[in-house]
Chain A
Amino acid sequence: MDELYIKKVLDGDIDAFRYFVHQYKDRAYNIAFSVLKNEFDACDTVQEAFIIAFRKLGKFRGRSKFATWFYRIVINEALKSSKKTGKEKFFTDTRTNSVDPGHIEIKDNLSRDQQKYYIGLALQNIPSNEALTLTLFYIEEQTIEEIRQLTGWTESKIKVLLHRARKSMYHELNILLSTEKKTLY
């Protein structure tokens, strides 16, 4: 389907580009937000990424999927923007207290909206590179090889980041949910 619309855009049908915007805007926003942690910055970055994709569509050779090519632009733009704004949050993990998954039953105890809220908050509080890895692997369901292609990181770095990210998420969720319990009771 993507190839068809790429051809249409390259043939001069500019409105056909709306298909890509409609199809990929949420995922691109999700990825940009995981790095930038601010909705306005993330929105600007996604817009810039779409404009770059439009300009360079003629250079897309189809060797990878359009999504992979486009997400790579989004990630590059998001990293560039986070360096520019100085909001980069790539600190190393010093938290050692691993929490067992059994202790945080987020699915059973909370409504769908609450789950989304707490997961969003937790993702916002963990370092950008960990949030990006979690977003790509679990939310966007990319494989490690695809993440390697998107970010340029080595496979071992991605695995280490995933491990750290899971630990950080448990840690953040634990803090958030215990605060919530204290507020309720």
Chain B
Amino acid sequence: MENNNNHDKYFRDMLSGNGREMPFSDFEDKLMSEICREHERNNSFIKNIKLSWLFFFLGLVSGIVLVIITPGFSESYADLDGDLLYGAIIFICLFILLFAEKLFRLSFNRHN
């Protein structure tokens, strides 16, 4: 026990205050400019995400309006028959759902 304490004291005396110091004097400035860039990147990322959500909802609302008003059109519109028109709407809806999934992932999981 006493031997262990001797070793401990010896090492504490020898090693305390003998740590290494950062050898690069410009480390602090370089790191701070990297941190500023990181902050700017983060800000622009948040701005882009907000814009993405805005345009996503604009598209969604336009899509819903389109679905509501299309049955009012005649059976054939712009040389497309009804089935083809509904097929196109379903395709657009699927596209919106896939995009929404990606947007959700970007917005909530970006740090993981």
Contacts and interface: CB of A to CB of B under 8 A. Distances in A.
Contacts of B109: none
B28 interface: yes
Contact of B22 (A46, A54, A116, A135): A46
A33 B24 contact: no
Nearest to A26: B21
A14 B35 contact: yes
Interface residues of A, number: 36
Contacts of B11: 134, 138, 166, 169
A56 B111 CA distance: 9
Interface of A: 14-15, 17-18, 21-22, 25-27, 29-30, 33, 39, 43, 46-47, 50-51, 54-56, 101, 106-107, 115-116, 119-120, 134-135, 138-141, 166, 169
What 8 pairs across the A-B complex have the smallest Cβ distances?
A: A138-B15, A101-B10, A139-B19, A30-B19, A29-B22, A26-B21, A119-B18, A30-B20
Interface of B: 6-7, 10-16, 18-24, 27-28, 30-32, 34-36, 38-39, 42, 111
A18 B38 CA distance: 14
A149 to B, nearest CB: 20
Contacts of B20: 26, 29-30, 33, 120
Contacts of A169: 11
